[in-house]
Structure 1
Amino acid sequence: MGLLLLLLVAIVLFLESAWMRGWLEGQASDRLGGREVEIGELDIDWGSPLTVRLQALRIANVDWAEPEEMVRLDELAIAIAPGALFRGEVELKSVRVERPEIHLVRRDDGVSNWDDLVQALDEEEQADTQEGPAFWPESFAVRQGRLTYRDVGLDTQLDVIFQTPDETIDELRLALEGEGRLQEEPLAFTAMASYEGRQQRGRIEELEGHVGASALAGELALDLGRDTPYVMARLDADELDLNRWGVLDARVDEQAAPDDVTAEERPAQEEVLPGQAWDRQLADALGFLDELEGQLDLSIARLIYADQTLSEVVIEGQLEQGRLTVERLHALQATAGEEQGALDASGWIAVRNQRPAAELEARFDQLDLTAALAPLGLDDLGTLDGRLNARMLENELVFDDSALDYQGPAYGIALSVRADSQPIEGADRPGVHLVGDATYEGEPFAFDLLVGSLLDLTDDETAYPVSGELSTGDTTLYVNGHLEHPFELAAVVGDFRLEGPTPAQLSGLVGIELPELPAYRVSTHLEYRDDLLHLQGLEGGVGGSDVAGDIRVQLGEQPMIWATLSSETFDFDDWLDWMEEEIEEQSGLFSDDPWEVDALRGVDAEVEYRAANVQANYVPLTDVNMVMLLERGILTLEPLQVGLGGGQVTSWLTLNAQQEALSGDLRIEVDQVNLKPLLREAGIPEVAEDTIGTIGGLSELSFEGRSLAEVMAGLDGTLELAMSQGWLDILAAELLPLNVGNALVEALAGSGQVELQCSYLKLVADDGLVRLDEFFMATEGAHLVAAGAINLDTEAMDMAFEGHNKDFTIFTANSPVELEGPLEDLNVNVVTPEFLARGLASMLGALVAPPAAILPWIDLGGGEEVGMGCDQALAEYHSDAQAPSLE
């Protein structure tokens, strides 16, 4: 018996020895990842219950943090039921802690002084196969505890006093009282915290406090003892400033991809694999819904983020059995001095059969999108108003009675749209019927479209259908086609038809001033891919003109257009009416409005056009052929051929728009144009009936200017016209020199014929001053000559005409005629002897240059010798080897 007593005494002494204390320090240090642990004294009370006391317990801090101890307590007393030890069990009766102090620190880089401890405890927990806590006492007591927390990154300091209000049974209950600073704002709070170890659940109740002037209250709960962890949070706050916590800044930084980061350097999880559907990615992201359950009740009077404030924020929701339900989401945008925006929403989201399922009902009331998305740094997004009702079930996205109004003044857009789901023939799931009105840059338009399911927008294997119509005024675009890879706009394929009363109605929408032409309609099969737009089988018409052909447009920094177009009938009068309206609107004969030449620099083109027949009421045009090239601001016509009066007019044009002022060269050839159809189409068939003649001519001009007025004011070049082989009725012959007597007699007596021997005209332009270098007409009864000049800068003319009769007529005087004044309001003066006496003849002689100077206006007879003579005129005309034939 004595030996047994001696053995018990030895065991007691051994358990309370310094060696045992050191062994316990080493075991604790190993479990805490090597952190130094120090026990001041180890005492054991050998009663019932058996009590182990650890005094002056210390856990060292990391070397970069202060103070030296992370955890320090005066005494830890653990009471154990001795009878359970004989059964091989440990039964804790109570745990009592005196004056514990815990110091937590988090650096600016996010590293904390408890990271290694948490990692070590996690590894130990993973190695321990026992469920629940290994030991849990029947009662707790904590006296005069203190916790400090300092976060450099958030500029936050806390000092919390905690202790058990009394000795608690089966759970740890702590009364918390803390104060400190959150950035520049003081904070304080009180709360009651509890933790039940056997059930692994904790709770913070009776939370009340303030941050600055903002009060807060609520409770939190965490239950880890269930099959699925459960979290509950209820919070009421006057104000919550998310900017202080840096939450949004961190999120935006994660989303922003630096410009210097290559695709290979981005994390693999950010890459979107080819063909990977977005819904599968979303379902993977929502995998946490099955790992947690909970309930949230949040009410915040003012929620501050970025530079925005939301008021009356309410979020009520729950997460249960993998389904996240938002019973109520409400917020008001507190915008001073402006209409207050609002958002109300409810719905749920879950994952079913590895795909997301959801339902959403949302109401927007003048919601300012710029303010709502302020953390993204997007400007002038506009406002949203209306309702959105949508659900996603069984791989279908369905819209029901949704109507939204969007106002985007910064982009010149206003949009009202109604959306409902509608079946699409041949599609596996319903599409979306979009109906609405909109304005763009003040120009209204409407749309009625049936598009594919929004779930198909990222499906690489499925073409996204689009059909319906868009209209502005009486102009309508009909569409029936599909998109490939819509977000990338990789391809657009379909049939299009555009029709309306005039192309001018589209000017505001397309940003180009289109002409005021008659009703038009055009249809085509369109295909766009790899920046190449191809309009195949284009056909239609404008007014009385038809058009057909093929157009290709290569988009890019310098777009390129290839077009081959043709018309069976081209109605020239439609374009003539438009040109006349343009002329009527301008001041002066030549407009001084600057030309817009940027379009000529910004696109290249190769265009071929042919019109087999031309409809014109006043000009006998027959056909048109044109080849136009445009390259880097230089336009050339090679050539433009127009059938006119049985002959042909051919033009070659080079136009340089590379500089601010346009410059160019123009050559026009007139070949064998018959005068009879010209007069007939001009509306004087009685004159045309007695007219036979063929006109030919040549013009070579060069010009430069920023407007038509500048071009005409600096025009250089020549114009020559001749007529041979024909008859000209007496009225036309006499009107040229304005023989008033003969004109009156012939108008009363009827038509007749006068043999036209020849006519010749030559104009020479030098810096906008056009000189009538030569004018001569030989008829059966007279020779006609003229001289003078036209100033294109001042838009004024001063010319004189004189006729010389070969034979005696009743009007033998044939006085010279002066044509002078503004081009838009010319004056005709018959030169009388009185005018001659005042020196008019000398003035005219100074205005014109030899050899076409007008001789003194005296009828000397022998008119055949006056002027160049018919043979000389024709000979001079034919001496130019490049002149077109008059034959």
Structure 2
Amino acid sequence: MAKLGRILLIVLLVLLALVIAAAVAVETRWARGLMEDQLSQRMEGRAVNIGDLEIDWGFPLGIQASDVQIANADWAEHEQLLSVDALDVTLKVGPLFRGQVALGTVDLQQPTVHLARREDGTTNWDALTPDEEKEDKEPPVQPDIIRIRDGTFTYRDEALDADIAVTVQTEESEEQRQLQVTGRGEFQGETFQLDAQGGAPSEALEQGSRYPVTIDASLGDMRLGFEGESLNIYRLEALHGDIEFTAPDQAQLTKLTNLLDQPGLTVPPVDLQAELNHQDERWALENIQANAGSSDLSGSAAVRLTDTPQFDVQLDSEQINLNEFGVAEMLAEKRDPANRERGAKVGVEQSTEEKQQEQEQEQGGEEPSWDQRMSDMLAPLRDYAGNADVQVGELILGEARLSDLALQGSLESGRLQIDQLNAAQDSGGLGASGWIEAQEDTIRADLTANLDHLNLGQALQPFGMEQLGIVDGQLHGAFDGDALRISDTQLSHDKPEQELHIQAQIMSREVPDTEAPGLHVEGQGTRQGEGFEFNLTMGPLLDLKAEDQPYPVEGTLTSGETRATIDGSITQPLELKAFDIRFDIAGPNPAELNPVTGLSLPDLQQYQASGRMQLQNQLLRVTDLRATIGKSDLSGDVRVDFDGRTMLWATLHSNQINTNDLIKVAEAADTADQQDPEQFKSPGEVFDHEPLDFQVLGQIDAEIRYRADNIIAKDIPMNDVVLDASLDEGVLQVKPLRVGLGGGDVSVDGELNAREPALQGDLSLSIKQVNLTPLLESADLPQLAKDSAGVLGGKGNLRFSGESVAELMAGLDGVIELAMSGGYLDALAVEVVGLDAGEALVSAVSDDQRVPLRCTYVKADAEDGLVTMENFYINTADTNIIGGGTINLATEQLDLVIKPNAKDFSVLSADTPVELNGSLGDPKVSVLTGSLVAKGIASVVGALVAPPLAILPWIETGTGEGTGPGCRQALQEFQQPQEQ
């Protein structure tokens, strides 16, 4: 507003000077035209018109002009930038003889000025403010009396959404002459009002005069009041008075902060009273009494607007609550890119600096180092200077509360000198002193801090560091732009919730053949009552200007009988962007580290692991891996790419795996799962309804190759294992998983799709030449292995879908076929079917409790959980047994019938069917006799329709036929009596 007033004043004074020159020269139309042309040239070609020009040749000399106009920009709404209906000027004749111009009276009637600014920032007054404008130029003339009648000033700004009209009028009485200014309009959709009074307008031009000013302005509910005086108001050389500002509407204040390029910052209702003082370049608010929400402030703040602005702040506050200003939310947005993206969607704009950084990253620019970022953040320090003395009773940010905060310091040439920084927190606190300096591309600092039971997690919670604990001790560090030097530092760290306590001595140490010092950290601690010690040494530390220059790190960590060593290098250690480290760890039991690490490592036997870990460009490599756990070993290479979606590659090999070691791992995992599976079952159910959680399959992608040469298993005689698997966005493909078992092998190919809540699977199963004898012997069933075991073969294709085991079984589709040659029926039936069912089956087949088996074949077809026994066939020396029926996996119900067919018709008991029904959890076995025989025969009609000969094409693969007399011979013998 002041600048626009000066523009108007300069235009009027130039106009007056030209009119005076014209009056002295000649009173002709030709002279007026010459003056119009000259003034137009000064206005960069704007058209200038002067209507009538008259001179009253007397004492004093009078000049009258009418219809004075200066054209507006061609894009502006109003035709004229400036117009004056009438201008009446009197000149004192005496000074003219001395070569001076002295004005008596200047009378302006209906002066009108229309100012405008477009959306792109273009203004219609650019021609009035040339670059060579001298702000310190004195007004050429100072009239004794200035009268303004019905003056109008309008301002329209598309960028600021402003439309304001101001009227200017002088009022006279016998005692005084005053300037009255009244403004009305809209700004940012809010109603604007202005009522201002000043002294006589001519006094504003008097050198050294103190001009009284009273202002009462409002914008919506915001109000600004000022009552004071100004020295040379047209230049605002000095200003003194009382200022009041009230803003009860937080929404209006937030809108104003957005205009000031501070998005996200909110301001609670404000009430401010202060004394405003301005002298030359210094602006100051003194005797401040301010409230913003629950925050208060008193004291003084001054700034000297030189090339390097200098401030002087002395403030006191009982409480400052930064949460009410939205600072905590702004910090959260910066920590979480996802939040920042969501914030942008609701109108929270990113700062210009953030946008520029994102554009640079998108264009492939390297991310700046931490000291470069700190330098950029502290860059404004290089533009200011001053002193600060701030006392705050309580500072609140997020959940952090600091009390008795005191800061005394100064700023000069980019160096922030901290003479005193004290703060209390509950029963602890901190004291610090030193300096920090922002240079062009790095920082320099020298800081000393005394920490007294300071809860860092609480203090730094707004910055996302809640995990930090309580710290005591002394810290002294210096950073010279190349290296960090730490001395006289002893710290203790406590995290009570984890029962963790650490004591450490930290100091820099000189490294041979290097200029920069390294770091030595040594100490001890306890976690959950278990003690540990550490000793780490590092090479030249934080040589961050050479971003690709690693520095060495080596050391040991011991806990009980467990010892770990590392030896390697880290690049940019504060950001852990790259490292190359060899490691070796050994101990009696991983579970012993659980109290120290806070992990849930399994309870295993003695272990040892070594290898090399490398991280570069978000690619982690583990090579030369050698590990033993008990009697098991593992070796190979692993790669994990963290750039974008996590991808894992693993090529692993074991010479020997002891399944007892794996069983302990599984038991530990089961123990960690606190859910009781029985809560997802109804009484008597076999399959539970616990929701399956396969989210881990969707979190990473993987390619895995694993080979095990020898498997030691007490219960299962496995030989070797081959696994090739891939995981792609929740789809697991296994091609194949092959396990050597009982002299043969079991192979599974398939796919599990966990992209949807319901798991979907498609598996192909193959069983070849599995000898049950060693399988049963290893299971501590030697008699069963001797009397009943044969050779097993089979194949199957299964499809399933569901969110729990019960749903998977209820939706099972597919076919499975099994064949076995050799063995005996008696012990096998008792062991597999159950004592009651076995006895019933053996009794139905023969009086002899030891029935030799020649061939067994089972084929089952499942559709939507309903399993139909298409073929059930057992070939013995004197009997062929067939069966059929269904198993409903959805309802867990059995309905099966087994019918023997005697080869020797003298054995009457061999024709007695056996029925199995009831639930899977509690099956019922009964022998059908008398009138129930017909029902038993009807139950197996489905099986008889598809005679056992259907297996002949498949049996030729030799999966179970390769040992004993063979199913083909048995089937031929079964077929002959039927043809006779």
Alignment match of 1:534 (pick from 599, 621, 627): 621
Distance 1:280 1:321 in 2: 14
> Which amino acid counterpart does residue 431 of structure 1 have in structure 2?
L
Q: Indicate conservation of the 8 Å contact 1:346/1:362, yes or no.
A: no
Distance 1:326 1:674 in 2: 82
Q: What displacement does 1:243 show?
A: 12
Q: What displacement does 1:420 show?
A: 4.2
Q: Deviations over 1:569-590 (max 9, x none)?
A: 1233454577789699454432
Distance 2:324 2:852 in 1: 103
**Is the counterpart of residue 182 in structure 1 residue 245 in structure 2?**
yes
Distance 1:665 1:261 in 2: 50
Q: Indicate conservation of the 8 Å contact 2:787/2:827, yes or no.
A: no
Alignment match of 2:920 (pick from 815, 818, 823): 823
Q: What displacement does 1:547 show?
A: 1.6
Distance 2:327 2:100 in 1: 46
> Closer, same or farther in 2 for the Cα pair 1:487/1:876, shift >3 Å?
same
Alignment match of 2:959 (pick from 881, 884, 887): 884
> Closer, same or farther in 2 for the Cα pair 1:446/1:647, shift >3 Å?
same
Distance 1:543 1:262 in 2: 52
Once the two structures are superposed, the pairs formed by residues 132-531 of structure 1 within 5 Å of their partners are 157-160=225-228, 178-183=241-246, 185=271, 187=273, 189=275, 256-257=351-352, 261=356, 297-299=389-391, 312-317=404-409, 325-330=417-422, 344-349=431-436, 356-363=444-451, 386-387=471-472, 389-392=475-478, 395-398=483-486, 400-403=489-492, 420-423=505-508, 428-431=516-519, 433=521, 450=536, 455-456=542-543, 459-463=546-550, 480-486=567-573, 489-496=576-583, 522-531=609-618
Q: Deviations over 1:662-719 (max 9, x none)?
A: 3333222222222321221221223434567432222232322222222222223332
> Closer, same or farther in 2 for the Cα pair 1:664/1:299, shift >3 Å?
closer
> Closer, same or farther in 2 for the Cα pair 1:152/1:368, shift >3 Å?
farther
> Which amino acid counterpart does residue 709 of structure 1 have in structure 2?
A
Q: Indicate conservation of the 8 Å contact 2:371/2:443, yes or no.
A: no
> Which amino acid counterpart does residue 771 of structure 1 have in structure 2?
T
Alignment match of 2:817 (pick from 714, 720, 723): 720
Alignment match of 1:759 (pick from 856, 869, 872): 856
Q: Indicate conservation of the 8 Å contact 2:787/2:823, yes or no.
A: yes
**Is the counterpart of residue 19 in structure 1 residue 98 in structure 2?**
yes
> Which amino acid counterpart does residue 719 of structure 2 have in structure 1?
T
> Closer, same or farther in 2 for the Cα pair 1:880/1:423, shift >3 Å?
same
Residue number in structure 1 paired with 2:929: 836
Match of 2:861, SS?
A: strand
> Which amino acid counterpart does residue 884 of structure 1 have in structure 2?
T
> Closer, same or farther in 2 for the Cα pair 1:530/1:635, shift >3 Å?
same
> Which amino acid counterpart does residue 721 of structure 2 have in structure 1?
V
Once the two structures are superposed, the pairs formed by residues 736-755 of structure 1 within 5 Å of their partners are 738-739=838-839
Q: Indicate conservation of the 8 Å contact 2:297/2:315, yes or no.
A: no
Match of 2:653, SS?
A: strand
> Closer, same or farther in 2 for the Cα pair 1:423/1:238, shift >3 Å?
closer
> Which amino acid counterpart does residue 649 of structure 2 have in structure 1?
W
Distance 1:547 1:754 in 2: 46
Distance 1:250 1:759 in 2: 73
Q: What displacement does 1:460 show?
A: 0.9
Q: Indicate conservation of the 8 Å contact 1:332/1:341, yes or no.
A: yes
Q: Indicate conservation of the 8 Å contact 2:703/2:726, yes or no.
A: yes
> Which amino acid counterpart does residue 532 of structure 1 have in structure 2?
L
Distance 1:564 1:689 in 2: 40
**What's the TM-score, normalizing by structure 1?**
0.61
Q: Indicate conservation of the 8 Å contact 1:797/1:823, yes or no.
A: yes
Match of 1:37, SS?
A: coil
Question: RMSD of aligned C-alpha atoms?
Answer: 6.7
Residue number in structure 1 paired with 2:141: 38
Unmatched tracts of structure 2, length 5 or more: 1-92, 104-131, 147-152, 156-165, 170-176, 182-186, 189-206, 232-236, 248-270, 335-347, 963-980
> Closer, same or farther in 2 for the Cα pair 1:447/1:152, shift >3 Å?
farther
Q: Deviations over 1:531-585 (max 9, x none)?
A: 4332212222455432212222333444433222211112334545777896994
Q: Deviations over 1:361-393 (max 9, x none)?
A: 25477779899898xxx7896887545622216
> Closer, same or farther in 2 for the Cα pair 1:245/1:825, shift >3 Å?
closer
Distance 1:570 1:320 in 2: 69
Unmatched tracts of structure 1, length 5 or more: 1-13, 42-54, 57-62, 70-98, 110-140, 164-173, 196-200, 334-338, 854-866
Residue number in structure 2 paired with 1:127: none
Distance 2:793 2:282 in 1: 106
Alignment match of 2:871 (pick from 770, 774, 792): 774
Distance 2:901 2:323 in 1: 100
Q: Tell me whether 578-587 or 560-569 shows the greater mean CA deviation.
A: 578-587
Alignment match of 1:708 (pick from 775, 782, 805): 805
Q: What displacement does 1:607 show?
A: 1.9
**Identical-pair percentage:** 27
Match of 2:98, SS?
A: helix
Q: What displacement does 1:612 show?
A: 0.8
Match of 1:328, SS?
A: strand
Q: Indicate conservation of the 8 Å contact 1:603/1:630, yes or no.
A: yes
Distance 1:482 1:695 in 2: 56
Q: What displacement does 1:622 show?
A: 0.9
Match of 1:709, SS?
A: helix
Residue number in structure 2 paired with 1:130: none
Distance 1:602 1:429 in 2: 42
> Closer, same or farther in 2 for the Cα pair 1:740/1:35, shift >3 Å?
same
Distance 2:941 2:743 in 1: 36
Match of 2:476, SS?
A: strand
Q: What displacement does 1:649 show?
A: 1.9
Distance 2:710 2:141 in 1: 108
> Which amino acid counterpart does residue 656 of structure 2 have in structure 1?
T
Distance 1:215 1:777 in 2: 96
Q: Indicate conservation of the 8 Å contact 2:517/2:541, yes or no.
A: no
**Is the counterpart of residue 552 in structure 1 residue 639 in structure 2?**
yes
Residue number in structure 2 paired with 1:648: 745
Residue number in structure 2 paired with 1:629: 726
Match of 1:360, SS?
A: strand
**Count of equivalent residues:** 722
**What's the TM-score, normalizing by structure 2?**
0.56
> Which amino acid counterpart does residue 566 of structure 1 have in structure 2?
H
